[in-house]
Amino acid sequence: MFTWRACSEALPTLSNLQKRKVVEDGHCPVCKTNIETLGHVLWGCCATRDIWGQGCKKIQKMLVHSMNFLGIWDQLVKNLQQDELEEAAMVARHIWTRRNEFVHGKEFRHPNSVLRRAREDLQLFRRTKQTQLTNSESHTVSINTWKKPLDGNYKLNWEEAIDDARGKISVGAILRTTRDWLLGLSELGNC
């Protein structure tokens, strides 16, 4: 989501705010030498280069210059594996967070701190994704591994619904036997 907003130039850089006449000066609040576009703040600014310079080796070797982040992201997509791309997206998000903290008067965090937090968040993101995947797989397995009852036995699944307005209970049931016979029935009775 953050990457999409960055590629769409939908974040409030000083350049964007200047275009909307919200601020008069669109220069980068960190280096104060370039206009603060998303390409600059997330990639080209000297303070940002310090962060990318300690990250993925492939990124360190990339020579990309663009005023907009879309051109940079396009190159990242072409050069990086999926896991490296995920890390790049998380690092970019944390670079933007650091910039916002600085603009709002907080301490300008060290590049190592930005990278460490980005990697911690990425691990958390991946763990959460894995847990969701495992849960959905185990749910699927439990459905697919339903076993027939043993000889001479049957399994009954049933569900009830109460109709308050009519004062009735509706019961639906499926009976499964060893020979895969399926019997369905529903009854209506008084509550």
Residues that bind Zn ion (CB under 5 A): 28, 30-31, 45
- Distance in Å, CB of 32 to Zn ion, minimum: 7
How many CA atoms lie within 13 Å of 41's alpha carbon, on the beta-carbon side?
Answer: 28
CB nearer to Zn ion: give 45 or 115: 45
Least Cβ distance, residue 72 to Zn ion (angstroms)? 15
Three-state DSSP class for 174? strand
| CA distance between the termini of the chain | 51
The DSSP symbol for 35 reads B
In angstroms, what is the minimal distance from the CB of 31 to Zn ion?
Answer: 3
Least Cβ distance, residue 73 to Zn ion (angstroms): 19
Non-local (6+) Cβ contacts of 21 within 8 A are: none
In the complex, minimum distance from the CB of residue 10 to Zn ion, in angstroms, rounded to a whole number: 20
H or E segment at 26?
A: none
Task: Considering the complex, state which of residue 17 and residue 31 has its C-beta at the smaller distance from Zn ion.
Answer: 31
Q: Residue 136 and residue 10: Cα distance in Å, rounded?
A: 34
Comparison of 20 and 32: residue with beta carbon closer to Zn ion? 32
Distance, in Å, from the CA atom of 61 to the CA atom of 68, rounded to the nearest integer, reads 20
Shortest spacing between CB 36 and Zn ion, in angstroms? 7
CA distance 120 to 172: 49
- Cβ atoms < 10 Å from Cβ of 94: 22
Among residues 35 and 175, whose Cβ is nearest to Zn ion?
35
Q: Which is nearer to Zn ion, 31 or 169 (CB)?
A: 31
- 25 or 160: whose CB is closer to Zn ion? 25
41: which 2 tokens?
A: 């703040």
